[in-house]
Amino acid sequence: MTTLNEYLRQKREALLDRRARQNGRTQEDIVDGLEKALEAFRGLLEGKNFGKLIVRVAP
């Protein structure tokens, strides 16, 4: 049986390893057009995005 401290240590190590492999890269969800901003915001609140949510309003 794993203790809470051991579990948290394993999770922390896994998170740090994952972060090191990403090497500063972020994932972005890009939505084109201001008219889609409300829909994008709703998706953000519902957890449908990954990483940063960007609403592109100009070409």
Report the sign of the C-alpha dihedral through residues 50, 51, 55, 59, in that order. Answer: negative
pTM for the predicted model, two decimal places: 0.50
Q: Quote the CA–CA distance of 50 and 31 in Å, as a whole number.
A: 12
Segments making up each domain of the chain, as ranges: 4-56
Residue written as token pair 């500063």: 24
- How sure is the predictor about 53, in pLDDT bands with cuts at 50, 70 and 90? confident
Is pLDDT at 46 greater than 80 in this prediction?
yes
Q: Is 50 left (phi over 0), alpha (psi -120 to 50) or beta?
A: beta
* Residues above pLDDT 90, as percent of the chain: 27
Is pLDDT at 38 greater than 90 in this prediction?
yes
Of 51 and 38, more confident = 38
